[in-house]
Structure 1
């Protein structure tokens, strides 16, 4: 089983509110200490500003620690995807997670297919997979249509059923529709509950196994172990009133999730 941690598992540890915000080097070290084999640098734009020497040092640190690196960004603009393919080569990443939309760029399905069709041959030649994440801004059916229309062996889906709940798409439906195309999984449990009183709802994270993520069904449909698909631990952890308490709970959630994943048949 390929289990990893992502920057979203360390969100409050590298947040500016931390007394000493964690660096990428810190997170690689903690990933190795946790016995996880992958670290996904996801939605961490500062990685784009690292010079060649810093990227080389990050790659060597990860190699020494026995941790494979993955990258994560947002958007499918031609220059942006080319930049992340270059970064992947620098750090030895074999997977780049992205999203169809980014900021004001919200391509429709036809434009997305054109952009991806142009970008994917370079990913194929480099042996790098681009995995588009399930997210409420793009219906799951549309995302699957885009991936199938491009038809590249280097293009797949990063499955995160929690995100799609915000668009009122059911986790089981998201899993079933995407399963054949999944190349990466973000593992985070969540609760969708009515707010105090009677107006509104909250979509928040919770420890794995205590919420609405149908993890056993995900494993049965996607078969990540058999297919060599990395499962990246993430959290949606609300602020706990102070940095120390929030970071402490974040680490507890990570430890719990890793234990649960390793205990799952």
Structure 2
């Protein structure tokens, strides 16, 4: 089991809203400097445009830093996932997170199952795991039914219990339902706050350990250390008053998240 950072831990620092956005190599370097040993390049479209030489440079840089790369995308279309398996081969990646839906395609459960039946054998041959992420657009039970129907070591659940609240699924219920099929963890905390005037709530991120994520329950149910499941830090940090303050808060949340996880998972260790 390893602890890592996602590109979603750099969401604002890599965005066009800041004066000097971080690039992929800078995020990778920061991951290594933080003591994390996994960097998940998730929903980061520029990686798809890298040349063979650029992919090899990225793979070599990660190897030099002793950081394992993972990938993340959206959708189940065969051509798209075949492309990601090719990226995985070039980058020596063993895990790809994906979702049922992309911007252009929203398969039914039956369609999703048939699409996965096409691509999963290729993943098996390549020793790559796909993880379907829990999120509000698809009921957790539907994801599980598809994963159970395929029943392959190359397909499991990427668990992020906070994503499912918008579908009125309780995070602990999602943890319990998926635990046996989890192959990757997205770790972020979340909380509700009253809107000004006490009319409604905002559901947003919070520093890890301060919100509603029952991390102890997640750890006990999934057993990531025992089962060698990577834990990857993300954030739902709202934009702050200025780019500088937003970047400062994002960096502080990352540091707090890593300290929390290393304290709870001493087996992971620090570099």
Please state which band the TM-score falls in when normalised by the shorter chain: over 0.9
- The equivalent residue for 1:235 is 235
Spell out, residue by residue over 1:159-217, the C-alpha distance to the aligned partner (whole angstroms, 9 max, x if none).
00010011110000000000000000000000123322343321100001110001110
Q: Does 1:8 align with 2:15?
A: no
Q: Which residue of structure 2 lines up, in the alignment, with residue 110 of structure 1?
A: 110
Q: Give, in whole Å, the separation in 2 of the partners of 1:193 and 1:172.
A: 20
Mapped partners of 2:88, 2:164: distance in 1? 27
Q: 2:177 maps to which residue?
A: 177
1:47 aligned partner: 47
> 2:61 matched to which residue of 1?
61
Partner deviation per Cα, 1:108-148 (whole Å, 9 max, x = no partner): 11110000011100000000000000000000011100100
d(CA) in 2 for partners of 1:46, 1:69? 15
Q: Counterpart of 1:28? A: 28
> Hey, what's the Cα distance between the residues in 1 that align with 2:16 and 2:224?
34
- Superposition map of 1:160-199 within 5 A: 160-199=160-199
Return the alpha-carbon distance in structure 2 between the equivalents of residues 168 and 199 of structure 1.
20
Q: Partners in 2 of 1:102 and 1:201 — Cα distance? A: 28
Q: Please give the alpha-carbon distance, in whole angstroms, between the structure 1 residues aligned to 2:148 and 2:201.
A: 34
- Structure 2, unmatched stretches of 5+, are 266-271
The residue number in structure 1 matching 2:269 is none
Equivalent residue, structure 1, for 2:210: 210
TM-score scaled to structure 1, two decimals?
Answer: 0.98
1:91 aligned partner: 91
CA deviation after TM superposition for structure 1 residue 17, in Å: 1.6
- Number of residues of Structure 1 aligned to a counterpart in Structure 2: 265
Give the C-alpha shift of residue 238 in structure 1: 0.5
SS in 1 for 2:5: strand
Once superposed, what is the RMSD of the aligned Cα atoms? 0.9
SS at match of 1:46: helix
Deviation at 1:150, TM superposition (A): 1.1
CA distance in 2: counterparts of 1:200 and 1:103, whole angstroms: 29
SS in structure 1 of the partner of residue 197 of structure 2 = coil
* TM-score, normalised with respect to structure 2: 0.96
User: Secondary structure at the residue paired with 2:196?
Assistant: coil
Aligned residue in 2 for 1:144? 144
